[in-house]
Amino acid sequence: MSRLVERWGRTQFALVSSLVWALPMAAWAGSVDLQPGPGPWIAFGVGLVLLVAWLVVLSRLGRIQVTARPRRLDVAAMKRPERTWNLVFLVFLCGLIGWLNGAATVDWNILTPGLAAGKTSAVGLAVGLAVALVVFLAGAVISWRKGSAAFRRRAVAGVASASAQD
C-alpha cells in the first residue's frame, strides 16, 4: 500500500481504491430491479463490507509519508485552472457514465417501433441521445487534455523552482 501511495499520491490512491467497493455497488444498482433473487443483494452486501474496509484504509492513509513531487491529482498543489478542468472532466465523466448506465438498463423495445415508423418524437429522442453521448465524450476528452496540460505547467514550474533553489 505504501508503494502505491508513494507512486500515485494520497488522492489518486483513494480514488482508484474506491473502485473496490464502487463496482459491487454499481452491479447491485444496475441489477436490483432487473434480476430477481438474492444475487443483487449479495453484491450489495459485498459492496458494503468493502466500503467499510476502504474507509479503514483511508483512515490510515494520512499516516503514510510521501515525498514531495508533482502528482497529477494532488488537489492541495493544484492551481485554479487545473482544479477547474478536473472538475469539468468529472462532470462530463459522470454524464457519460450515467448515459451508459441508462443505455444498459433501459428497455429499448419501446423506442424501436417508433424509429421504424419514422415518428418524429422517436427520431428526435434517438438523435438527442446520440448528441448527448458525443457531447459527454468530447467534453471528457477535451477537459482531460486541458487538465493534463495544466498539470504539466505546474510540474515544470515546480521542477524549475526546485532547481532554482539548489
- Write the pLDDT tens digit of every residue in 74-117: 777 788 999 999 999 999 999 999 998 888 878 888 888 999 99
Task: State the greatest distance between any 2 C-alpha atoms of the chain, in Å, as a whole number.
Answer: 73
Q: How many residues does the chain have?
A: 166
Q: Structural domain boundaries of the chain?
A: 1-67, 75-166
Stated pTM of the model: 0.69
Q: CB count, 10 Å around CB of 5?
A: 18
Per-residue pLDDT tens digits for 44-83: 888 899 899 999 998 888 888 877 777 777 777 788 999 9
